[in-house]
Amino acid sequence: MSHSTPPSAPAGAPWRGAIAYGCDYNPEQWPREVWELDADLMVEAGVTMVAVNIFGWAHINPADGVWDFEGLDAVLDLLHSRGIAVNLGTGTASTPPWLTTAHPEILPVMEDGTRRFPGGRQAWCPSSPEYRARSLDLVARVADRYGDHPAVALWHVSNELGCHNALCYCDHSAAAFREWLRERYATIDAVNDAWGTSFWSQRYGAFDEILPPLATVSSRNPSQVLDFHRFSSDALLAQYRAEQDVLRKKSSVPVTTNFMVTAHIRNLDYAQWAPHMDVIANDHYLDHRLADSEAEMHFSADLTRGLAGGEPWLLMETAVGAVNWQPLNSTRAPGELRRHVFSHVARGADGIHFFQWRASLQGSEKFHSAMLPHAGTQSRAWEEARDLGSELAAVGELAGTRTEAHAAIIFDWPSWWAVDGESVPSSHVRYLEQVHAAHAAMSAAGVTVDVVPATADLSRYSLVIAPAWHVVSDAAAGALDEYVQGGGHALVTFFSGVVDTHDRVRAGGYPGAFRDLLGVVVDEFAPLPQGDTVTLESGAQATLWSERVTLRGAMAQDSFVDGPMAGGAALTRHSYGAGTAWYCATALGPAAYADLARQLADQAQIPRIGGANARVTAVRRSGENGSYVVIANSSSQPACVDVRGTNLLTGQPWQPDTALASGDVAVVREEAA
C-alpha cells in the first residue's frame, strides 16, 4: 500500500501465534457475584481476550469531578487471574447524563437543524470542544490507571466511531467545517472554484458565509456535500487520533478502534483511517435485509483485509445468533456460526470476538444474542460458542499468515457518497450494489480478491476491477493507467472516471479519467427503468444502465441487442501498453458477470483452487508456518476441493476427492510441494 501498512500483531499481542477468541463484556450490568462465574465460564469457553469499559463512562465518572475505578480494577484483576487478556475501552463512546445536562451543546444536530436528545448512546458532536476536553480527560485517567496493567493487551478507542453521530450540523461543526475548508483550500476563491458556486448564485464572499449542507428547499451543492462527508470522517478520525495520542504518552500497548465495514454504514472513509491503526479491527453482523447476506459478509472481510494492507486483522464484534436492530432479527441456522467464523478466519481474521458475553436483561439490546444467552449454559448458543473456542485453538498456527489474493477490487468512499447522492442520472444505481456484483462474480469464479482503497499498490495483483469508480483523482487514474501499461489486466465499469475529486465533470466525454486507458468515449448515458432488462449479443442479460460507446482503439466484445443503445458496444477490450483494459457499459446480470470474471481470471492467469465457488469457498492463507486452505461449504450438497494435506479440525488426511458435508468446514494444512 502507498500508506504505511498497520502491523498485524504488535510484539506482545495476545493473538500472536493464536487466534484470539472473546467478546465484549459489560460487567457493570451485573451484580458482583456473577463476575467470578463469568470468568470461570470464559475459561471453559476458551476465551482469551475480552473488551471491557466500552460504555463505562457513567460508572467510573458518576458525577462531575467524581471518579470511581474500584469496579473496573476488580474486573481487570479478575480477568488477569484467569489468564484472559483485556481489550480496554477508553470509555468515551457514550456520555453520562450529568455531562449533557450541564453542556447540552455537546448533543448533535441533524440535517434539519433539530438537536437530538440524550437517552440513547453516542449523543455527542464530533467537533464539540467540551466533549473533546472531557473525553480526553477520561482517557488520560484510564490510561494513567491501567496503562501498564499486565492484563491490558489492546486499547479500544471509543466504540464504532460515527455509528450514529457521524454527520453533525451544529454551530461547532459549522465552525470546524470552515476551518477544515480553510486548511484545504486556503482562499474563498478556491472554495468557490472547487464547488462550482457560479451555479445558482451560490458564490461565497467569505468563509463565514459557509454552512454545513443543512436541508434546503431544492437539491444541494453536490461538491459541498462531498466535502462535508470528507470533513465529517476527518472530524471523527481527529477524535480517534486525539485519544490515541493520550494513550501513547502513557502506555506502549497497541491502539485500535472497531470499524464498521458493513452495507449500511458509509460515513467513514476508512481508507484515511487505516494508516492510523496499530491493528485493523472490524465489526460485522449479517444483514438479513440484503439478498445475499453471506456474500456481503465475505465482501466485508475482504475489504477489511484490504484496509489492513493484506495483513491479518481482528473481527472485533459479531453475533452468536440474532441481533436486535433489524426489522426481523433472524438467528443463525445450526452450524452457520461456525462456518461464518471460519470464513472470517479464511479471509485474514486473527481474532474472533462476539457482542456480547452475557445477554443483557434490560436495555434496548436485551434481545440481542450472546455467548451466554438468557437461558444460560443449557443452550445451543453456549455450546456452539464453547466448541468454537476449542476449534479456534486447534488452528492457532494459522495466525500471522496472509490470505493469498491475486486480484483486487477498488473500493472508494467518495465514489459511494457521490454515486448515491442527489441529482445523478439514476437513483437506482447504488454504488455498493455495483461493487458487490463485481465481488459476487469473482466469488462465483472461485477467485479470492482483496478489496482495496484507491491508494493501494496495484502492482501485486494480476487483475484489478474498478466498479463505478466515479470520483477519481488524476493521480489515482494515472496509477491504474500505469498498472495496465505495465502488463496488468483491468476491468472498469460504467459511471467510472466521470468526475474529479471536487465532483466536477471531466470534459471531453465519459469515462473521463479512463478514456485513453479504455480506448472508448461515451457521449450520452441512457439509464434503464428499474426492472427493465436489456439483452446483449452474447445472450447476456443486463440491467440499470446503457450508454453510447464510441470505440477509440478498443474492440467491442459484446453489444446491446435492444434497449435505448441497441447496436452499440456494451463490453469492450483495449490492448494498452503491455496490458489489457476492459470496459463494461452496463450492469451485467450475475451469470454473465461470473462468465466474464472467469474469462478475465484465465486471461490474467490467476491460480484458482479447483472446486471453489461462491457457495463452496476455499481460501488460502500462507506464511512462515506453511500453507493452509480454509474450506466452507454453504451449498446443500457435499463438495470436493482440490487440495491435499491434513484437516486440522479432524486430524484426518485431506485429498481432492474428500467430500466435505453440506454446512461443514475444514482447515487443511497443505503438504509441502
CA 75 to chain centre: 31
Contact call for residue 370 and ligand GLA (CB under 6 A): no
Task: Give the shortest CB-262-to-ligand GLA separation in angstroms.
Answer: 9
Task: Give the shortest CB-161-to-ligand GLA separation in angstroms.
Answer: 10
Q: Nearer Cβ to ligand GLA, position 87 or 543? A: 87
- How many residues form the binding site for ligand GLA (CB under 6 A)? 9
Task: Give the shortest CB-284-to-ligand GLA separation in angstroms.
Answer: 9
Contact call for residue 353 and ligand GLA (CB under 6 A): no
The helix (H) or strand (E) run that includes residue 141 is: helix 129-146
Catalytic residue among 160, 294, 311, 433: 160
600: which residues sit within 8 A by CB, 6+ positions away? Answer: 463, 489, 491, 582
Q: Nearer Cβ to ligand GLA, position 101 or 364? A: 364
Contact call for residue 323 and ligand GLA (CB under 6 A): yes
Contact call for residue 368 and ligand GLA (CB under 6 A): yes
Task: Give the shortest CB-359-to-ligand GLA separation in angstroms.
Answer: 11
Contact call for residue 355 and ligand GLA (CB under 6 A): yes
**Longest Cα pair distance anywhere in the chain, in angstroms?**
75
Q: Nearer Cβ to ligand GLA, position 323 or 441? A: 323
> How far is residue 329's CA from residue 326's CA, in Å, rounded to a whole number?
6
Contact call for residue 57 and ligand GLA (CB under 6 A): no
Q: Nearer Cβ to ligand GLA, position 363 or 653? A: 363
* Residue 209 designated active-site: no
> How far is residue 321's CA from residue 385's CA, in Å, rounded to a whole number?
10
Pick from 296, 317, 350, 397: which binds ligand GLA (CB under 6 A)? 317
Q: Nearer Cβ to ligand GLA, position 269 or 283? A: 283
Task: Give the shortest CB-293-to-ligand GLA separation in angstroms.
Answer: 14
Q: How many CB atoms lie within 10 A of CB 119?
A: 8
Pick from 159, 233, 239, 251: which binds ligand GLA (CB under 6 A)? 159
Q: Nearer Cβ to ligand GLA, position 200 or 367? A: 367
Length of the chain: 673
Nearest Cα to 512, choosing from 531, 528, 526, 492? 492
The helix (H) or strand (E) run that includes residue 582 is: strand 579-584
State the binding string over 269-298 for ligand GLA (x if CB under 6 A, else -).
--------------x-x-------------
Contact call for residue 165 and ligand GLA (CB under 6 A): no
Nearest Cα to 599, choosing from 573, 617, 575, 577? 573
How far is the CA of 79 from the CAs of 14, 89, 236, 382, in angstroms?
14, 15, 31, 19
State the binding string over 641-670 for ligand GLA (x if CB under 6 A, else -).
------------------------------
Name the packing angle between helices 431-444 and 590-603 (round to 10°). Answer: 60
315: which residues sit within 8 A by CB, 6+ positions away? Answer: 281, 282, 283, 284, 301, 344, 349, 351, 352, 353
Catalytic residue among 294, 296, 317, 384: 317
Q: Nearer Cβ to ligand GLA, position 138 or 614? A: 138
* Residue 317 designated active-site: yes
Q: Nearer Cβ to ligand GLA, position 283 or 412? A: 283
CB of 490 closer than 8 Å to CB of 465? yes
Could you say which DSSP state residue 68 is in? -
Cell of 470: 466515479
How far is the CA of 437 from the CAs of 128, 268, 300, 441, 468, in angstroms?
40, 22, 13, 6, 11
Task: Give the shortest CB-368-to-ligand GLA separation in angstroms.
Answer: 5
Contact call for residue 160 and ligand GLA (CB under 6 A): yes
φ/ψ of 93, rounded to 5, equals -65, -35
Q: What residues line the site for ligand GLA (CB under 6 A)? A: 159-160, 283, 285, 317, 323, 355, 365, 368
Active-site amino acid positions? 160, 317
